[in-house]
Structure 1
Amino acid sequence: MDDLEPLPPARLAAYLDRIEARHPAAATAGDLRDLQLGHLRTVPFENLSIHLGEDVPLDTGAILGKLLDRRRGGFCYELNGGFALLLRTLGFRVRLLEGRVYGSDGVPGIPYDHLALQVEAEDGSRWLADVGFGDHAHHPLSLDDRDDQKDPAGVFRVQDADGGGGGEDAFGDLDVLRDGKPQLRLARRPRALADFVTGAWWHRTSPASPFTRGPVCSRLTATGRVTLRDRTLITTRDGERAEDTLGTDAEVLAAYRDLFGISLDRLPVPLHPRGPQPG
């Protein structure tokens, strides 16, 4: 059994308000899709705590305080941890899954590199829900379908990594591919939130972690995506990408506030700054 308890009514109402969602009448696959899309559009993927010198505790009180009271975002452990609480309270069956993100070398990352969710709707269908992977699938992916799954972000496929079956009690690893390229390896055995503490610590402290190189804040929009990476504002609208460099601290703070709803009194300072890019 994991360490997630259902939300009390006031917290449930606050969470639904945060993601601009209605209270679904039932735990259907369609409702799951709406909840995931709403979450991606309202709660940013961000690593600002790392560069503000803030702790990132993985307990439900701290996660809810950050997402709901402070109106912040977070990275996968926080975002999917919070989403799991919401979904369970709404009647979905939820498992926390341990994932390893594929690097550019085609090799999966460290254990507990990523937290994702297996979600079962009321009809027994099983879905991979993920609001903490940045630029990834907009909609939940079927865990029972081994064919291509079309999504606004590309064509995804979920396949058995070890040739094992996909039954209810099967715990064989799965690979998630996007446009034919492996993105994520998932272990199906259910985990507890506390299991991810070491992975979260590594990601927020290690010079080898991509999250310590510099601040990033990103959110899905109705027409594309908006991302602030260091001082570079990247906006994608209907497939057209534009980049702008924000020249002053005031402009950066205004972008966090106006585009992501995050009010800061100081700029994040890169923990382990990115080095010069080759070529």
Structure 2
Amino acid sequence: MRSLTSEQTDAYLRRIGASGQTPLRELHRLHQVAVPFENLSIHLGQDVVLEPAALYDKIVGARRGGFCYELNGTFALLLAALGHRVELLSARVHGADDRYGPPFDHLALRVEEAGAGAVWLADVGFGDHSAYPLRLDERGEQPDPRGTFRIAGTPDGDLDVLRDGVPQYRLETRPRELPDFGPTCWWQCTSPASHFTRSLVCTRLTGSGGRVTLSGRRLVTTDADGSRREEELPDDEAVLLAAYRDRFGIDLDRTPRPPA
């Protein structure tokens, strides 16, 4: 499947509570409210398959979430079906050691909005990021409910994405194909050095502009004003399964387990 049928597009729009007339800006926000950023498959022993049909079946059919390759890979299918021109871009995530990760560390989207001529950076797969797409051709500050963002050029022709002055990732401008991300995705899913194999996370934007996150058994709710509540859930499968279902819309038959 390289493109969505009209029936698949309609099902995807229902999945995120949108319609074919919903503006790109709102599609971006609604996707993050409805579809969690999560790495549960790694801890459930499930393969992460970077093929359009498999991504669609997981995100829309199974009503799951995923991480960047899955979320932005699938969102690209929806945007293209709605008439937007979409390119996949490779990015290197900025780490705590002030270094950037390897190429294909992250997948983001360059989107030319249909009928508008504007060029956007769309990214529904970075966990806690901008609620709305960012203007890719704007070099000044871009206020967003999730912070103040800025895109800055580098001497090598790449683009740095910053949030509240802190680098988030370095974006290449050369278009890529989904299979290009396969080797790094495999490493992220299997390497003991990958933070995805070392920790368990499920997080989504809330409709009120806050965020809810379940990391292992720690449930954290953050309101739009920054107030935060944290709760340690009991190590009880029924309680954890209910949290995934009620907080994130994910219905599992068993709980994923983080490394000991």
TM-score normalised by length of structure 2? 0.96
**Counterpart residue identity of residue 144, structure 1:** D
Runs of 4+ aligned residues of structure 1 deviating over 2 Å after TM superposition are: none
Does the 8 A contact of 2:10 with 2:19 survive in 1?
Answer: no
1:11 counterpart (8, 13, 20): 8
Is residue 30 of structure 2 the alignment partner of residue 38 of structure 1? yes
Alignment of 1:133 with 2:121, yes or no, is: no
Partner secondary structure for residue 100 of structure 1: strand
**Preserved CA contact (<8 Å) 1:174 1:186:** yes
Shift of 1:161: 1.4
**Equivalent residues in 2 for 1:250-265, closer than 5 Å:** 250-265=238-253
Match in the other structure for 1:93? 85
Specify the code of the residue in structure 2 equivalent to 1:176: V
Q: Deviations over 1:163-206 (max 9, x none)?
A: 6xxxxxxxx21000111111110000000000000111011111
Corresponding position of 1:241: 228
Of 195, 199, 208, which residue of structure 2 is paired with 1:210?
195
Q: Is the 8 A contact 1:100 1:185 kept in 2?
A: yes
RMSD: 1.2
Contact 2:12–2:60 (CA under 8 A) maintained in structure 1: yes
**Is 1:160–2:153 an aligned residue pair?**
yes
Identity %: 57
For residue 22 of structure 1, what is the aligned residue in structure 2? 19
The amino acid of 2:6's aligned partner reads P
Partner of 1:149, secondary structure, is strand
**Aligned-pair distance for 1:214?**
2.3
Instruction: State the aligned residue count.
Output: 256
Of 175, 179, 197, which aligns to 1:190?
A: 175
* Partner Cα separation in structure 2 for residue 268 and residue 203 of structure 1: 17
Report the Cα distance in structure 1 between the residues aligned to 2:84 and 2:155, rounded to whole angstroms.
Answer: 28
* Unmatched 5+ stretches in structure 2: none
User: Separation in 2 of the partners of 1:210 and 1:113?
Assistant: 12
Alignment of 1:257-276 (within 5 A): 257-270=245-258, 272-273=259-260
Equivalent residue, structure 2, for 1:177 = 162
Q: 1:5: Cα distance to partner? A: 2.8
In structure 1, what residue type is equivalent to 2:29? Answer: L
State the Cα distance separating 1:6 from its structure 2 match: 2.4
Alignment partner, residue 168 of structure 1: none
Corresponding residue for residue 76 of structure 1: 68
Deviation at 1:265, TM superposition (A): 1.3
Alpha-carbon distance in 2 for matches of 1:176, 1:95: 17
CA contact (8 A) 1:214 1:269 kept: no
Confirm whether residue 149 of structure 1 aligns to residue 146 of structure 2.
Answer: no
Unaligned runs of at least 5 residues, structure 1: 26-30, 164-171, 274-279
DSSP 3-state at the match of 1:211: helix
- TM-score by length of structure 1 reads 0.89
Matches of 1:179 and 1:203, distance apart in 2? 27
Q: Is the 8 A contact 1:97 1:116 kept in 2?
A: yes
SS at match of 1:191: coil
